[in-house]
Structure 1
Amino acid sequence: MPHAAEPDPFESLAADAAPLDLGPLARPVRRSLNGEHPGEIGTALPPLVDHHVHLMLVGADALTDTAIAGVVDLGAPLDLVAARRQRDGLPEVDFAGTFLTAPGGYPVGRPWAPDHSVRELGAIAADMRSSLPDAVVTAVNEQQAFGASVIKVALNADVGPVFDRRTLDAIVTAAHERGLPVVAHVEGDGMTRLAIDAGVDVLAHTPFTEHVDDALIARAVAAGQRWISTLFVTSYGAPSPDRDRAIDNLGRFHAAGGRVLYGTDLGNGDQPLGVNPEEVAALAVAGLAASDLLTAITDPWPRRARADGIATFVPGTAPAVLDELPAWLAGACIVPAEDLEEL
């Protein structure tokens, strides 16, 4: 008598409920019979990246055993940058180095930002427009020499002075001439416009203190600017005007074709190590579909290519609805790519 065929677990899943459309980045897979959890079925994704962390606040090894395979550290002392870049292992780290800010500007004097994590640059005199001043060039060169691959500027008009347009232009020019993108912390009226006018490449936070009108968003999108989400830390998940503004701004930026990067500002307040499901949920509230969310959290920026040889594995049944995606993604882990067999 012939044996009945073994049931296909993905056929039974399809019979119960149509899985959420996760887009082309997600692949149904089975783990190798030779490794951990042999034969376990789940979903493979590219490596996950948190595009806004502060290792000086959470510790250089805080994310070692998490599902986050890459991080962008947006503000750290240069000795930490140099030391961490000499080490192998996950997560891979890209650094901005020290915050560049106007004299007395944010985050000077903040208890969480030691003096050696901030560099103050004075304004450029009007008669120096024809050539980049030594102070700006020296500051940018120093960041790169210590291993920074992006440059971070602070534009927080709510708590102190900010760079004028001439000085900001010089920083952006110096960075771009060295192949380094510029990331700006924008906070306060007019700061998003200043960053866009100056050609800043990435906003470290979705603007949360001001409404960004559609015309300005269109300019940001046309220029190829990216916005790092950090929606959770606007009010740590509680309702607030800042949270509402950020979600509205990001939703319209995304709808206009803007490139969104997942980022948590890890080190700012109480957050889980690894994937923050509340950040993922807030991105969904802003209008990102499941495939958009996975694009935002797997984007290799500022690198051109994703890490080789590893993949993200999320065990079990793929989510059936968007509300289930945050908790599902929080269960991810990093595995060798060779351990996964595509189904």
Structure 2
Amino acid sequence: MTVHQPFTVTAARLFDGSEVLAATHLRVAEGRIDAIGGSEIIGHDDALISGGTLLPGLIDAHVHLLPGCTQLAATFGVTTVIDQFSKPDVIDSERAAIAAALAGAGPARADLRTSSIGATAPNGHPTMAYAPIPYVTGPGDAPRFVEARIAEGATHLKVIYDDGSGAMLNIASLDPATIEALVIAAHRHGLPVVAHVSTAAGAVTVARCGVDVLAHVPFERMREAEVRDVAQTGVALIATLSLVDGFPNADGGMPLLGEPGLAARLSPRWRRVLDGQSRRWMPPPPDGAAARENTLALFQSGVRVLAGTDAPNPGLVFGASLHRELQHLVDAGLPPTEALRAATATPADVFEMPDRGRLRIGSRADIVLVNGDPTADITATQHLRTIWVAGRDPAPETYSGSTAEREAITALRETTNKIVAAIQDSWPDFPTPEDVHRDDGELLGRLIPTSGGWQATTTFGAALGAITTRDEAFDTVLGQGLAALAETWWVQPLDARNWHEATLVEVEPDRLRLRWKDPMVDQPPSGQWYHRDDINLSRTRPDEPNGS
């Protein structure tokens, strides 16, 4: 690992993962915490940094990997992510990138723990997103399945116990006998077991099967007896209360974009992803009240609570959403210090990572400096000042426009399209995007279902008009889908502030060749190619009343 200049941080307070220390200084050398105390620990050649509150690097106990997500997470102070179901290709690529970063090649990245592929029944959850995957057909498959995950580098096991009843669906699920066999096989190899459940009864069942962690808190209210039955098993809980952030606020915006400190740190491309998710078709949003009440009841019954987001579900972004999760935990009734423990010391203990989650001499220098006092006001974690991963800078300014960002957003889009296609196959009446073709078969545009109606778009996804009924949107695509391509468009590169007029020289689904109408712009005679992810498009000037 590249050795950097030692440094000492002076802070108004040091929260060590459990409590505020009496110390005021923390020294880092060779990627480790070297000393904690007063000004006497400052080394002769140390760089000096000062700020409000110093925290252990945050740990997100529930994510699903995308390419480059460890770089994005680190830019928001999440220095370890715990993956709860991903396939080996993305795991291996992220691990290689993390190793390269530790060796000094590129910005620091969050560290990674993973379950690799989770254990589920044939065609069970989450087949839509991950097929093809190996399945578990019964207890006899358990030893072989666990050994295969260990060979893939799994640090824990994920099991799925979900028959869809929590969402009024009917899907295949593992049975309790198979879960018990998986738990025995995993524990034989020293692996903790995390169980996905969606109902209160399911939580009781898997807890009795001996799992170590619940991947979600039930979104239906638990009875006192159910809370007691779960608590007495000693199981821990990853609450994932942030799942409600997948639904827009009353003003139509995604909750994460309503947090100024976090939104300002998000790249323009991720802000656009969230904006698009706010307009997708969706069922009525849950209010989250039952989940919050269950979390508090389980916590008060002695259950250890871990902070986890379930990124990249809709509305959730790696790193950024963990700060919202802390806020949800406090809104549920946990004191701010307990919410901070849920993202530091507690996941480090549950997933057996003794070198992080606390400010201790000898631990990895995964530390986060924030303005304000999050032990009194949890939203202070959103005011990030400086972040270190193993003593290194994640260089947040290098993420926007990077290969890591592009690969993550592309992979998210591909997974979303795969899920939408699977839903359409299973439920033909479920509203999904529709292509509109001319009589000769030429593609004219698309109809996109949204929460407010149907959106007519070009073949490359630009809006052709306001959200309206399906029939009106269809007529818009039929009449304007091709004609609009010859119009002047307003274009804003995502790394620029202003909009400019351009003509479309050539269009493809994922990229466009534009020629700027401003004669003063230096450009090739045939125009310049832009990836669709790198520009905003509008048929009218955006500051006009009908702009979009």
Counterpart Cα distance in 2 of 1:261 and 1:172: 20
Q: Confirm whether residue 100 of structure 1 aligns to residue 119 of structure 2.
A: yes
Q: Percentage identity across aligned positions? A: 27
In structure 2, the partner of 1:263 is 308
* Counterpart secondary structure, 2:73: coil
The answer (yes or no) to whether the contact 2:299–2:305 under 8 Å persists in 1 is yes
Judged with a 3 Å threshold, the aligned counterparts in structure 2 of structure 1 residues 215 and 189 are, in CA distance, closer, same or farther, namely closer
Q: What is the deviation of 1:100?
A: 1.2
In structure 2, the partner of 1:185 is 196
Q: What is the deviation of 1:203?
A: 1.0
| Structure 2 counterpart of 1:318, from 373, 385, 388 | 373
Judged with a 3 Å threshold, the aligned counterparts in structure 2 of structure 1 residues 9 and 259 are, in CA distance, closer, same or farther, namely closer
In structure 2, the partner of 1:149 is 155
Counterpart Cα distance in 2 of 1:95 and 1:76: 8
Q: What is the deviation of 1:201?
A: 0.9
Would you say how many aligned residue pairs link Structure 1 and Structure 2?
307
Q: What is the deviation of 1:80?
A: 2.8
Q: What is the deviation of 1:154?
A: 1.4
Q: What is the deviation of 1:39?
A: 4.2
In structure 2, the partner of 1:291 is 337
* Counterpart secondary structure, 2:355: coil
In structure 1, the partner of 2:145 is 139
Please tell me the residue identity of whatever aligns with 1:143. R
Q: What is the deviation of 1:95?
A: 0.3
| Structure 1 counterpart of 2:290, from 235, 242, 245 | 245
The answer (yes or no) to whether the contact 1:50–1:264 under 8 Å persists in 2 is yes
In structure 1, the partner of 2:19 is 24
Judged with a 3 Å threshold, the aligned counterparts in structure 2 of structure 1 residues 333 and 221 are, in CA distance, closer, same or farther, namely farther
* Counterpart secondary structure, 1:52: strand
RMSD: 3.2
The answer (yes or no) to whether the contact 1:58–1:267 under 8 Å persists in 2 is no
Structure 1 range deviating more: 46-55 or 268-277: 268-277
Counterpart Cα distance in 1 of 2:316 and 2:82: 17
Q: What is the deviation of 1:235?
A: 5.1
The normalised TM-score by structure 1 is 0.78
Q: Confirm whether residue 115 of structure 1 aligns to residue 131 of structure 2.
A: yes
Counterpart Cα distance in 2 of 1:327 and 1:191: 36
Counterpart Cα distance in 1 of 2:26 and 2:326: 25
Structure 1 range deviating more: 93-102 or 231-240: 231-240
Question: What are the equivalent positions in structure 2 for 1:160-171 lying under 5 Å apart?
Answer: 160-171=171-182
Cα shift readout 1:57-95 (whole Å, capped 9, x = no counterpart): 774543243311111001111233344345424311110
Q: What is the deviation of 1:29?
A: 4.2
Higher RCO (Cα < 8 Å, 6 or more apart): 1
Q: What is the deviation of 1:252?
A: 0.4
Please tell me the residue identity of whatever aligns with 2:131. D
Counterpart Cα distance in 2 of 1:48 and 1:103: 35
Counterpart Cα distance in 2 of 1:65 and 1:235: 20
The answer (yes or no) to whether the contact 1:29–1:44 under 8 Å persists in 2 is no
Counterpart Cα distance in 2 of 1:77 and 1:215: 37
* Counterpart secondary structure, 2:134: strand
In structure 1, the partner of 2:355 is 306
Please tell me the residue identity of whatever aligns with 1:156. D
Q: What is the deviation of 1:287?
A: 1.0
Counterpart Cα distance in 2 of 1:94 and 1:206: 21
Judged with a 3 Å threshold, the aligned counterparts in structure 2 of structure 1 residues 137 and 82 are, in CA distance, closer, same or farther, namely farther
Q: What is the deviation of 1:258?
A: 1.0
In structure 2, the partner of 1:128 is none
The answer (yes or no) to whether the contact 1:96–1:151 under 8 Å persists in 2 is yes
Structure 1 range deviating more: 276-285 or 309-318: 309-318
Judged with a 3 Å threshold, the aligned counterparts in structure 2 of structure 1 residues 287 and 97 are, in CA distance, closer, same or farther, namely same
Counterpart Cα distance in 1 of 2:115 and 2:293: 28
In structure 2, the partner of 1:233 is 243
Counterpart Cα distance in 2 of 1:59 and 1:319: 25
* Counterpart secondary structure, 1:72: strand
Counterpart Cα distance in 1 of 2:311 and 2:332: 20
Judged with a 3 Å threshold, the aligned counterparts in structure 2 of structure 1 residues 251 and 35 are, in CA distance, closer, same or farther, namely same
Counterpart Cα distance in 2 of 1:176 and 1:30: 37
Judged with a 3 Å threshold, the aligned counterparts in structure 2 of structure 1 residues 191 and 315 are, in CA distance, closer, same or farther, namely closer
In structure 2, the partner of 1:45 is 55
Q: What is the deviation of 1:161?
A: 1.7
In structure 1, the partner of 2:540 is none
The normalised TM-score by structure 2 is 0.51
| Structure 2 counterpart of 1:202, from 213, 217, 221 | 213
Judged with a 3 Å threshold, the aligned counterparts in structure 2 of structure 1 residues 318 and 191 are, in CA distance, closer, same or farther, namely same
Q: What is the deviation of 1:177?
A: 0.8
Counterpart Cα distance in 2 of 1:267 and 1:180: 25
Q: Confirm whether residue 334 of structure 1 aligns to residue 387 of structure 2.
A: yes
Cα shift readout 1:135-167 (whole Å, capped 9, x = no counterpart): 221111010111001111112221412111211
Counterpart Cα distance in 1 of 2:66 and 2:286: 29
Counterpart Cα distance in 1 of 2:287 and 2:178: 29
Q: Confirm whether residue 282 of structure 1 aligns to residue 328 of structure 2.
A: yes
Q: Max radius of gyration: which structure? A: 2
* Counterpart secondary structure, 1:176: helix
Please tell me the residue identity of whatever aligns with 2:318. L
Structure 1 range deviating more: 39-48 or 173-182: 39-48
Judged with a 3 Å threshold, the aligned counterparts in structure 2 of structure 1 residues 243 and 9 are, in CA distance, closer, same or farther, namely closer
Counterpart Cα distance in 2 of 1:9 and 1:141: 46
Please tell me the residue identity of whatever aligns with 1:305. P
Point out where structure 2 has 5 or more consecutive residues left out of the alignment: 1-9, 28-41, 103-108, 251-284, 357-362, 393-548
Q: What is the deviation of 1:42?
A: 2.2
Q: What is the deviation of 1:241?
A: 4.4
